[in-house]
Structure 1
Amino acid sequence: MSHATLLALLLPPQSYARNAQPLQIELQAEGRALDVAERDGLQAAAAISPFFAEYTLPDWERVCGLTPPSGAGYQQRLQAVLAKLAATGGLSIPYFQRLASSLGYRIDIVEPQPFRAGINRAGDMLQVADILWVWQVVVHAAQVQAWRFRAGQSTAGEALASFGDPVIETVFRELKPAHTFVYFAFQEG
């Protein structure tokens, strides 16, 4: 029932001509204002949790310090916010492996090492000295995840499908030490 109808029912039955046009116009205007206020209030109440954030998802990303990759869909962005809220912090390889596991991934982390005299030998790969600040995340998956457009979970203007996995990439790039560079390799199986 609309608020305009409810307002009309609140009028004393004998005192007003409920069908009079000026009164009907006033009730419609006031009723629309109350309908909008109710809708906005319900949306604000739902935004308390990121699960029902809808149009307030950018606010959740801002609060979490996340910058979504261009072209990321609503589902991907929501999962990144939820992962950021669940993150407790750490810099170790086991921490990142546990984080990936909590997101549903099995990963290995590879830290390339520079060539060192006395440790390496002829035929070993040469690396630049700054390779110490680079690490690779190998994501083991049955298949590379495809994000498909879904009615009710995606928004207008999103691609019908995107491939790769921006969720784990975004979470790791946000949590990695600032002086390091991380890159991802996806392996099936």
Structure 2
Amino acid sequence: MVRWTWRKRVVCAALAVTGLACVPIPAGADASAPPGLDFARALGTPALPGIYGPDTAVVVLGYGLTPEGTMREELVRRLRAGLAQAVFAPWSPIIVTGGNPRAGLSEADAMADWLVAAGIDQSRIIRESEADSTVANARNTAAMLADKGLRSVVLVTSEDHIARARGAFVDAGVLVVGDLTPDRAQWDSAPLHIGRFGPASSAR
């Protein structure tokens, strides 16, 4: 007999976005890990995003826009990792943090527009468009968390930035329960999109 819980269903839906299969665990088998996790590790897949509730925000840190106000590739990679995390935690709000406007557009606005175009509901996104540094990212996000009654965050940024970002958020009094980088969620080649009925791969 195979038993499916809502957590397993969410994990399997998210694994489907990556192109991996999710196989039910028969009764009596070790179910201590989400289904598909050992299979993913066996294939050498990088660390997977985690499942979190509505009191944990997914925080995507900005990266400098071009003078024309367009996003650089590194910021797009962060957003794709953030989108993967958003699939795993569909109840989590998403905070995009970054000011430094170029051509009248802040990093946060550019990120929010990208996520909406990828299928994320606008109401799920919180824009923090004043920060001009990692320390300000952390300080301003901490104020937003307190204002909205959120308990913790999952940080999404580049691999060479994650340690500094985590330190800044901890110093700002933010509980960091997880982090994800494009290098550990190497799915930037997959055309991720959140469709009306859940995660799906859009056509090229």
- For Structure 1 versus Structure 2, the TM-score category normalised by the shorter chain is under 0.3
More helix by share: 1
Rg bigger for which structure?
1
- Give the TM-score, by structure 2 length: 0.25
- Give the TM-score, by structure 1 length: 0.27
